[in-house]
Amino acid sequence: MVLLQRCVFKRVLQQFYSGNQRHPKSLLSAGFTALPAGAGAAGRRSQATIPDIRERTLIAVKPDGVQRRLVGQIMQRFEQRGFKLVGLKMLQVSDDLLAQHYCELRTKPFYPRLLHYMTSGPVVVMVWEGHKVVQASRTMVGHTNPAEAQAGTVRGDFSFHVSRNVVHASDSLEGAQREIQLWFQKKEILSWDSCDQTFTCEV
């Protein structure tokens, strides 16, 4: 009897893992923001060839960026790089959402001005997906203070003062996960197959 139970359990596990290999999207719809390194037996193929192309990050064009009609140019940079847009919306942010988003900055002297700035008009918020997208987008966005940001970065090209730095990018995997959950409902994020995937990364 015990032997029979073991066989059935083994069979179920085999089917589960082979199913996930054929349909990696099922992991995404389960709400994963990144495939952890060494993700169990199912990761045989994933570990070897698609380590973390499903990493996700939150990017927001702040009110000054929207007012200055920079949304298209900023999005274009992420598209050009090969990242995949999986979430997008425009909204007038509430004080409550911002307080949660910037909870670590609550005690900073500039916090009230930051809230005022961020609620001064609509923002465009996005979720981008791809290999090492969190780190790559921080590099693409540039230094917090645009005066120190390199040319070629979003902040380095479109702004010069820290209080009007045009764009937000999550600063870590954990931060990205937290921010995506804060700004987006699960159903607002789409997992879709991009036909250029074999050209932008190894799959």
Q: How near is the Cβ of 184 to ligand IDP at its closest, in Å?
A: 19
Residue 163 engages ligand IDP in binding (rule: CB under 6 A): yes
Can you spell out the DSSP letters for the chain? -HHHHHHHHHHHHHHHHHHHHH-THHHHHTT-SS--TT-STTHHHHHHH-SSTT-EEEEEE-HHHHHTT-HHHHHHHHHHHT-EEEEEEEE---HHHHHHHTGGGTTSTTHHHHHHHHTSS-EEEEEEESTTHHHHHHHHH--SSGGGSPBTBHHHHH---GGG--EEE--SHHHHHHHHHHH--GGGS-----TTHHHHS--
Stretch that binds Mg ion, among 15-23, 84-92, 168-176, 179-187 (CB under 5 A): 168-176
Beta strand 56-61 pairing with 84-91: unpaired
User: What residues from 38 to 77 belong to the interface with ligand IDP (CB under 6 A)?
Assistant: none
Q: How near is the Cβ of 6 to Mg ion at its closest, in Å?
A: 50
Binding site partner of 110, from ligand IDP, Mg ion, none, Cβ cut-off 5-8 A by kind: ligand IDP
Binding site partner of 190, from Mg ion, ligand IDP, none, Cβ cut-off 5-8 A by kind: none
Q: How many residues bind Mg ion (CB under 5 A)?
A: 1
**Catalytic residue flag (residue 161):** no
Nearer to ligand IDP, 42 or 149 (CB): 149
Stretch that binds Mg ion, among 84-92, 113-121, 164-172, 182-190 (CB under 5 A): 164-172
Q: How near is the Cβ of 93 to ligand IDP at its closest, in Å?
A: 13
Residue 85 engages ligand IDP in binding (rule: CB under 6 A): no
Active-site annotation, residues: 168
Task: By CB under 6 A, name the binding residues for ligand IDP.
Answer: 105, 110, 114, 144, 162-163, 165, 168, 171
Task: By CB under 5 A, name the binding residues for Mg ion.
Answer: 171
